Structure 1
Amino acid sequence: MREVLVVDDDFMVADIHRRFVDRIDGFRTVEVAHTGAAALDAARTLHPDLILLDVYLPDMTGLQVLQQLRGEGDTVGVIMITAARELDTVTGALDGGAADYLIKPFEFDQLRTKLAAFAARADALGAAVGIDQTFVDSLFGHSPATGEPPPMPKGLGAETAQLVLEAVREAGELSAAECADRVGISRVSARRYLEYFLTAGVLGLRLQYGAGRPERRYHTV
Structure 2
Amino acid sequence: MSELRVVIVDDDFHVARLHTRIVEATGGYTVVATAGSIAEARTAIEAARPELLLADIYLPDGSGLDLVRGYDLDAIVLSAAVTAAAVRTSFQRGAFAYLVKPFADEALAEVLRGYTRYRNLLDAQPELDQETIDRARRVLHGSATRDAAARRSPTEQSVLEALAQSPDALSAPVVAAQLGISRATAQRYLSALAHDGQLLVELRYGSTGRPEHRYRLPR
Instruction: Work out which of the residue numbers 169, 175, 188 in structure 1 matches 2:153.
Output: 169
Q: Deviations over 1:6-32 (max 9, x none)?
A: 110111111111111121211111111
* Matches of 2:91 and 2:131, distance apart in 1: 22
* Matches of 1:131 and 1:179, distance apart in 2: 26
Bigger helix fraction: 2
Q: Which of 1 and 2 has greater Rg?
A: 2
Which structure 1 segments of 5+ residues have no match? 70-74, 144-148, 151-164, 187-192, 203-221
**TM-score, normalised by the number of residues in structure 1:** 0.64
* Matches of 1:172 and 1:111, distance apart in 2: 25
* Matches of 1:180 and 1:37, distance apart in 2: 40
Deviates more, 1:86-95 or 1:27-36: 86-95
Q: Deviations over 1:68-125 (max 9, x none)?
A: 22xxxxx211111101111111111111111222111111211111111111111211
1:98 aligns with 2:95: yes
* Matches of 1:97 and 1:79, distance apart in 2: 9
- Structure with greater contact order relative to length (CA < 8 Å, sep ≥ 6): 2
Whether the aligned pair in 2 keeps the contact of 1:99 and 1:118 (CA below 8 Å) is no
Rate the CA distance shift 1:17–1:54 in 2: closer, same or farther, 3 A: same
C-alpha RMSD of matched pairs (Å): 3.6
Partner residue, 2:22: 20
* Matches of 1:97 and 1:169, distance apart in 2: 36
Identity of aligned residues (%): 29
Instruction: Work out which of the residue numbers 72, 78, 86 in structure 1 matches 2:83.
Output: 86
3-state SS in 2 of match to 1:52 = strand
3-state SS in 2 of match to 1:81 = strand
Q: Which amino acid aligns with 1:30?
A: V
1:1-221 aligned within 5 A: 1-69=3-71, 75-141=72-138, 168-169=152-153, 176-177=160-161, 183=176
